[in-house]
Amino acid sequence: MRRVLVTGGAGYIGSCVVDELVRRGHRPIVFDSFFWGKEGVEQLGNSIDMVEGDARSSRDLIYALRECDSVIHLAGIVGEPACAKNELAHFTTNVESTNTLLSCMTDPEAPLVQDLIFSSSCSVYGNVAGIFDEVSETTPTMPLSAYAQGKLRAEEAIFECAARVPHLSPTVLRLTTIFGWSRKPRLDLVTNYFAYLALTKGQLKIFGDGLQYRSLIHVRDVANAMVTALEAPRYLRDRQIFHVGEEANNVTVKHLAETVQKYVPGTEILYLEEENTDRRDYRISCNKIKNSLNWRAAYSVEDGIREMVENLRDGKIEATAPQYWNNQFEYV
């Protein structure tokens, strides 16, 4: 059994990671500011420990790390809209918090915490359509946003620290775009947002022709990949970068909209070709994690859309509440 500190453990991804750790017999410590509450993890009761703290605070982290042997680092402000709205908080939370965590994990006055799984993003590649047919872990990075730049800077800090501290064993997981239901849902992700709009507005607006690709992965598959990486022998994942995604889920925005339309009949799809579109457009290869760690995704895009529509129809959450929309939150 591992004692795993999960920073951001009450969030959209974090609550699924904590679930997966418990399911596999580990003892997670949920480290979170709980800005969005505890609904994602409180039902786990005595299976977990919860520590309220700020990932930017060395005082909070050093105490939370005392009995841990590994860390899954998820804490951060996720997505370009939220980062653009909260520029200083983005820097302190997405970049400096990683430096603080590394210092606490490797300080000579504290017990060394050896294993680190870091949640990064495939947005670090920017728009590579027409340059590379498919993106691998060795494709040059070209971040287009502050969020992507922050992830890349955090990765660089991790590998620089590992070069100085040989016993630190980090693994970077670059996630494709996430979808699907979680105990702490997010609705400001393209697949989930389309399901929400179809149910509430009956209309989906697509900027451009809809033929731009999105590489997608279910949030529970992400959780599974993170725990799989943590449990893997160090020689397989030490100082490695892995994509977390599924090639079968490399789909166009048009395909996404039409799949939502299938589950919400009568939904109108409008193409606004005169509008500027999101410039990210890439298809991700995930062969490395499959071959090295024997990991496979379990959920299709259609699975996630069906699940999201069902849960929203059933009124599982008050969908307009701000805790389900990262881009509506004010960070300090």
- To which residue do tokens 């005082």 refer? 59
pLDDT for res 298: 97
Q: Which domains can be identified in the chain, with CATH numbers?
A: 3-178+216-244 (3.40.50.720), 180-214+247-284+299-324 (3.90.25.10)
pLDDT in tens, 118-174: 999 999 998 766 577 788 999 999 888 888 999 999 999 999 999 999 999 999 999
The token duo for 332 is 């300090």
Instruction: Answer yes or no: is pLDDT of 278 > 80.
Output: no
The token duo for 320 is 């307009």
Please tell me the distance from the alpha carbon of residue 1 to that of residue 255, in angstroms, as a whole number.
42
Looking at every residue in the chain, the average pLDDT score rounds to 91
pLDDT in tens, 279-298: 555 678 999 999 999 999 99
**What is the pTM (predicted TM-score) of this model?**
0.94
DSSP readout, 128-167? -TTT-SSB-TTSPP---SHHHHHHHHHHHHHHHHHHH-TT
Q: What percent of the chain has pLDDT over 70?
A: 94
pLDDT for res 76: 87
pLDDT in tens, 65-82: 998 999 999 998 887 777
Instruction: Answer yes or no: is pLDDT of 276 > 60.
Output: no
pLDDT for res 328: 65
Q: How confident is the model at residue 114 (pLDDT cuts 50, 70, 90)?
A: very high
Q: Of residues 195 and 131, which shows the higher confidence score?
A: 195
Q: How confident is the model at residue 221 (pLDDT cuts 50, 70, 90)?
A: very high
258-293 b/e (C-beta count within 10 Å ≥ 16 → b) = ebbbebbeebebebeeeeebeebbbbbbbebbbeeb
